[in-house]
Chain A
Amino acid sequence: MHAAALMLADSRFPGGGHAHSGGLEEAVARGLVHSESDLAPFLAGRLRTAGELAAVFAGAAAHAGRRDAGVDHWRLLDAELDARTPSPAQRTASRAQGRGTLRAVSHLVLDTLAAATPRPHHPIAVGAVVGASEGAPADAALTVAYLAVSGPASAAVRLLGLDPFAVNALVMRLIPVMHTVAEYAVRHAGTDPADLPAPAAVGLDLLAEAHDRHSQKEVRLFAS
């Protein structure tokens, strides 16, 4: 694992991730998750859907970052992930974290990405940072696969007061799946952006939209 990937996966990395729950807060508000046993399938489902999509694009972005791709390629990659993110609220959340990642890291490759889009999607920013640091697509893919789970897991501890050891055990149990997801992403890292896979989770899309609406009318503690 490349140290740039470790930095990005660290919850202390100042890229704005701490305020995002990945749909978990809305699921909690609706009574869909209230214990460790409900959290397990939420995390597993998120990893195989949103996590897989993020891993695919992080892997492709790392591939692009390693070969110092041009503005047009970054724009295309970003647009293709936009097309695979039907929920406007999720797009906003992803772009907020992508912008946060760029803010926290500075590198010439990232200037090219920022020239293509100043608020790139989060997986693309992560992949670009790893690739620019000469990390591998696998490092980037594994990072976002892990973040797809660790963010909501931490939110569950904060919102529900769950036992942090029990929650961490759930994250640990998903480690083999994270590697499977990352390996899948790596196989597509050099694929034309238009032909990249498009795994989806309609449930998470709907939770993100509901969260966005509720955050304007009632209390929501997370940005997504």
Chain B
Amino acid sequence: MPVEHTHTHPVNFDPTATEPDPHAAATHAGRAFRLGIGGPVGSGKTALVAALCRALGGQVELAVVTNDIYTTEDADFLRGAGVLDATRIEAVQTGCCPHTAIRDDISANLDAVEHLEQHHPGLELIIVESGGDNLTAVFSRGLVDAQIFVVDVAGGDKVPRKGGPGVTTADLLVINKIDLAEQVRADLGVMVTDAHRMRGELPVITQSLVRTPDAPEVAAWVRDRLAAQPA
């Protein structure tokens, strides 16, 4: 005989409900804030990292760890872009499994993060860029304090609707390359509506690095996160 459900739960047990993660990532005063940037191949993760380096590099002590499956490709891109001193970029090899290196077995990335911290005392921000992966790839909270998931209009306007932990749980979702929406016949309005529906209260930013090369909105979001850190 079914028992009547009269009490309430402090957390929502409905697995389909979207809501902000009630658990704050553990903060570690005295070390750099660790920001993960993930998303599918070609969505513009490295371009966003370069933009953030340009936007924040003058005010914030920062460094970057790249995880491209072609490991030196992104590091070379960043070095070539001249946005960051070469010693502030570390590349990590992921054994053909970029999601494993940011989620299940984060030791190589932690090694790289600690290497940067040792060689650049006073770092305030370390960006860990994942290799391009699928919609299920998210960063472990053991590796990063916050994460951005980057998708783009050219990847298809159904991507936000498909969901997956990257779209639904990342601290910030960036819909990139919006200047291409018309050419690829992507409905940006549908993408944004779907994104908000999938993410509840979590923020969504649309951007085009062609129109705003320094990613001002994302940079402002990162600044806010840094300001919220305990000193």
On A, residues with C-beta under 8 Å from B are 12-21, 96, 99-100, 103-104, 155, 158-159, 215-216, 219-223
A222 and B111 within 8 A (CB): no
Chain A contacts of B97 at CB under 8 A?
18-19, 158
Interchain CB contact (< 8 A) of B105 among A16, A158, A219, A220: A16
Check: B188 CB closer than 8 A to any chain A CB. no
B108 and A221 within 8 A (CB): no
- Min Cβ gap A162→B in Å is 13
On B, residues with C-beta under 8 Å from A are 69-73, 92-97, 100-101, 104-108, 110-111
Chain A contacts of B101 at CB under 8 A?
18-19
- Min Cβ gap A88→B in Å is 17
- Min Cβ gap B138→A in Å is 15
A13 to B100, CA, bound (A): 11
Chain B contacts of A18 at CB under 8 A?
94-95, 97, 100-101, 104-105
B96 and A14 within 8 A (CB): no
Interchain CB contact (< 8 A) of A14 among B70, B93, B106: B106
B93 and A222 within 8 A (CB): yes
Chain A contacts of B108 at CB under 8 A?
16, 19, 96, 100, 223
Chain B contacts of A99 at CB under 8 A?
107, 111
Residue of B nearest to A17 (CB): B105
A201 to B198, CA, bound (A): 54
Q: Could you list 28 A-B pairs, sorted by A, with CB under 8 Å?
A: A12-B104, A13-B105, A14-B105, A16-B108, A18-B94, A18-B97, A18-B100, A18-B104, A19-B94, A19-B95, A19-B97, A19-B108, A21-B95, A96-B108, A96-B111, A99-B107, A99-B111, A100-B111, A104-B107, A158-B95, A158-B97, A216-B72, A219-B70, A219-B71, A220-B93, A221-B95, A221-B96, A222-B95
A215 and B107 within 8 A (CB): no
Chain B contacts of A104 at CB under 8 A?
107
Given A18-B100, A19-B101, A223 and B107 contact (CB-CB distance below 8 Å)? no
A18 to B69, CA, bound (A): 13
Given A215-B71, A216-B72, A15 and B105 contact (CB-CB distance below 8 Å)? yes
A75 to B33, CA, bound (A): 34
Chain B contacts of A222 at CB under 8 A?
93, 95-96
- Min Cβ gap B75→A in Å is 11
A14 and B104 within 8 A (CB): yes
Residue of B nearest to A21 (CB): B95
- Min Cβ gap B133→A in Å is 14
A55 to B73, CA, bound (A): 37
- Min Cβ gap B191→A in Å is 32
Chain B contacts of A219 at CB under 8 A?
70-73
